[in-house]
């Protein structure tokens, strides 16, 4: 649950920063950018967890 909260906060932060960086006054590009960064973070978290799993 903690990783979901951290990823959600990071998603919001990415969206806010992308909104100021693209500066068009529209939310399309920042939303897409934040979504792809969110997917990348979730993939990296999944890959890290996959390697640390043991059956002991």
SS (H, E, C) 5-36: HHHHHHHHHHHHHHHHHHCCCCCHHHHHHHHH
pLDDT digits (tens, 9 = 90+) for 45-55: 888 888 776 66
Number of independent structural domains in the chain: 1
Instruction: Measure the CA–CA gap between 16 and 31, rounded to whole angstroms.
Output: 9
The string of pLDDT tens digits covering residues 11-38 is 999 999 999 998 888 889 999 999 999 9
Single pTM value for the model: 0.73
Q: Residue 40 is part of which domain span?
A: 1-53
The pLDDT of residue 16 is: 93
């Amino acid at each position: 649950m903690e990783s979901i909260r951290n990823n959600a906060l990071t998603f919001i932060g990415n969206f806010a920063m992308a909104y100021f960086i693209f500066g068009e006054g529209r939310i399309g590009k920042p939303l897409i950018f934040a979504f792809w960064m969110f997917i990348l973070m979730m993939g990296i978290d999944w890959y890290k967890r996959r390697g640390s799993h043991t059956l002991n």
